[in-house]
Structure 1
């Protein structure tokens, strides 16, 4: 059952003054907010962009460090340097004591008049599960640390989309940092660079404190396309955020899958902005990927997309419909448990659905495009609220998907309420593999 939440009586900074409050509340009601506390929660105002810069005193120093999972026991360490350095990572389980090392490669890319620094990628491992490793990139003196995900259940995922780099982004990241998550899942729209390549550098610096400590697994959104003249799409995204697509048999960094918790959870990262129609490479790959899953050992299957297939917000209505028509049947037949999406700058949780109707064997669709981007919240909802939409709210925040065991998982959505993380929605989910009549 959904968690009931008392609404905060203290409005966030920048809330409307008392004479305007009644008009704001009426407007919220007319826009379709339907949760019990909606009439006493005031939407937070926008916050300014953050431009993170680094005074480079050492051209060999690593910056924008982030890590991602590569198979069951390895991690990719990615970082950027001004100068060309040895792409080597030294690591061990004690601070300052490095018992192992691994080497990789580096590259750079150009975008109009911009040329990136050297983007280094090194895969380290094998690594032990649930273990803290200390590491150093190349010959730099700064030491980083990471914690590997658990090799079995339980496992906690942080789920947040459409991050950007505003004051609200910083608040969201602060809340994620103390959540105790093992792996972060991001369904697209990372930096909102939108062709201004220096903003990719700023974003990398902003997220480094988190992304250097826990694996971030991402897929692309529309703001990653960055198509200009003859420049191919996704140039910066593919160069900076390389995912382990080859291991899942994918031929593109724009869609892939990976296992977590010793294979108990299978995560499918789909590409909303590359070909997905019947017969395309992504469609055929998805068929093959789903066919490999053994639900006896992998009871939980989760998919991520950017443009939601189910959406009762006026923003981006029906933009995910072509992909839904092409792929929903595949996910339904495979009994995918949850589909996370971004794109719409608000939060919404649906019932288990298929073909736009409630279906006990369909996935739960959840939109979490509320990370804190500069474009602001999407607060206009279709009214009356369709019955399949169980909770919707236009607030910044993030989600936590805690897979407790083979049969049950806890989902909670955490609203950024005046810089305090408040649980606004929560539900216990039962895996479809253990749901009578679905297998």
Structure 2
């Protein structure tokens, strides 16, 4: 399932480079160049060329340039990933990317065929400001067309196969996937993380390179290979494209070895949504002007409507309440009222475990407004205690941290080690939620402070 397409290019010689001197004159630099470079190339639906630069960042000049290279089939259906649409485990949404505007199909199970719904987005949908944004002004790349279809009539905790595409645009390989357990069943095996992004599989450089993302996704693929994973929850900071759209394609290709085979659920993070004058609580420019639009197009979750990216879903014995920490969460806001009602209605006899998740954390040893917003904790934390939330999962801080059972910055209970030496939180005598920061999906780890206040 893990295919890495490499392309080697021999730069011809000689090449002539013109560079400016410090005095404003021109030097002609004659360079003999003979080199073979290998690149990891994926189908981005447009012609590409390779340019070899010299002269450094101050006085860059072109040493060699390849001819334009085109993809044999820019309409090829690619990067399919599946997600749950409800808690039954009987319906799964498949989403993929193609250069083809015409509806395609998904063929699954015993001869079932469904047409795709097709959508896209344009530069006009993106955000900009007084300063140019990558998304609208200089990082644009045509995203092609995003196809989506819902496979129905499945059985939970069962294995099926599918392929997607069309006779004119081509077909994907036959892919085997497993549905998650239905809400109310006994067991769920899920993996959760935040802050993954993508890294190149060659020596190239990008504006964000989470170095661990490749090893994390490869390790998860091994777990999926041995049927040890029912679903994945990626809680914010998804691709880190931040307006450089071709990087969404690289991210989708990177996760396809797992996201095409098990339910890949997501939450929105600051690098998908936050931007000034966008309606986000935080006015940083972290999304590069994307303002949530590519994220919601590539990863349609079971939300109420567009730009309201909060939802809940049940898998096995767990009820997941998934929120957006970038949208208004203050008391009496629409999202706050939804959180309040969603958690209050959980049937704990059916799903005894209640997991609350979003991107920005309530607690972290890395102090500061960029890590923890005390107002968010003040507004939302009482809901967690009131509804006896068991586990709280956040990302945003790029490390792993686990708390005691905590409320209002006080430990109400501590875990005890079982006979295997594993910390166990006993919620039969409930005191407070346990929080875990899991923003270790790929980025270099944030450093812990030398002294942690208690």
When the two structures are superposed, what TM-score results if normalisation uses the length of structure 1? 0.70
The alpha-carbon distance between structure 1 residues 174 and 353, as it changes in their structure 2 partners (threshold 3 A), is same
Q: How does 1:95-114 map to 2 (within 5 A)?
A: 98-111=110-123, 112=136, 113-114=140-141
1:116 maps to which residue? 143
SS for the counterpart of 1:351 is strand
SS for the counterpart of 1:245 is coil
Match of 1:366 among 429, 436, 440: 436
Partners of 1:259 and 1:265 within 8 A in 2: yes
Match of 1:207 among 255, 272, 289: 255
SS for the counterpart of 1:319 is coil
SS for the counterpart of 1:191 is coil
Match of 1:336 among 389, 410, 421: 389
1:53 maps to which residue? 42
The alpha-carbon distance between structure 1 residues 205 and 154, as it changes in their structure 2 partners (threshold 3 A), is same
SS for the counterpart of 1:123 is strand
1:170 and 2:214 aligned: yes
Partners of 1:350 and 1:366 within 8 A in 2: yes
Gaps of 5+ in 2: 1-38, 45-70, 124-135, 200-210, 279-288, 414-430
2:329 maps to which residue? 276
Q: How does 1:273-312 map to 2 (within 5 A)?
A: 273-312=326-365
1:414 maps to which residue? none
SS for the counterpart of 1:138 is strand
Gaps of 5+ in 1: 1-49, 93-97, 387-439
Q: How does 1:202-241 map to 2 (within 5 A)?
A: 202-225=250-273, 227=275, 233-241=291-299
SS for the counterpart of 1:60 is coil
Partners of 1:74 and 1:125 within 8 A in 2: yes
- CA deviations on 1:296-328 (whole Å, 9 max, x unpaired) are 112001011111101012466653322211111
- CA deviations on 1:357-398 (whole Å, 9 max, x unpaired) are 11242111000111113xx22113251453xxxxxxxxxxxx
The alpha-carbon distance between structure 1 residues 322 and 52, as it changes in their structure 2 partners (threshold 3 A), is farther
2:189 maps to which residue? 156
Partners of 2:390 and 2:434 within 8 A in 1: yes
Q: How does 1:29-428 map to 2 (within 5 A)?
A: 53-54=42-43, 56-71=71-86, 72=88, 73-92=90-109, 98-111=110-123, 112=136, 113-139=140-166, 140-141=170-171, 142-151=173-182, 152-166=185-199, 167-179=211-223, 180-225=228-273, 227=275, 233-246=291-304, 252-261=307-316, 264-314=317-367, 319-360=372-413, 361-373=431-443, 376-381=444-449, 383-384=451-452, 386=454
The structure with more radius of gyration: 2
1:413 maps to which residue? none
**Alignment partners' CA distance in 2, 1:203 and 1:316:** 29
Superposition deviation, residue 103 in structure 1: 2.9
When the two structures are superposed, what TM-score results if normalisation uses the length of structure 2? 0.67
**Alignment partners' CA distance in 2, 1:124 and 1:253:** 24
Number of residue pairs aligned between Structure 1 and Structure 2: 325
**Alignment partners' CA distance in 1, 2:40 and 2:273:** 21
- CA deviations on 1:106-130 (whole Å, 9 max, x unpaired) are 1111133433211011111121112
Superposition deviation, residue 150 in structure 1: 2.4
The alpha-carbon distance between structure 1 residues 368 and 348, as it changes in their structure 2 partners (threshold 3 A), is same
**Alignment partners' CA distance in 2, 1:197 and 1:76:** 23
Partners of 1:314 and 1:382 within 8 A in 2: no
Moved more, 232-241 or 120-129: 232-241
**Alignment partners' CA distance in 2, 1:381 and 1:232:** 32
Q: Which structure has the higher relative contact order (CA within 8 Å, separation 6+)?
A: 1
Over the aligned positions, Cα root-mean-square deviation in angstroms equals: 2.2
Superposition deviation, residue 229 in structure 1: 8.3
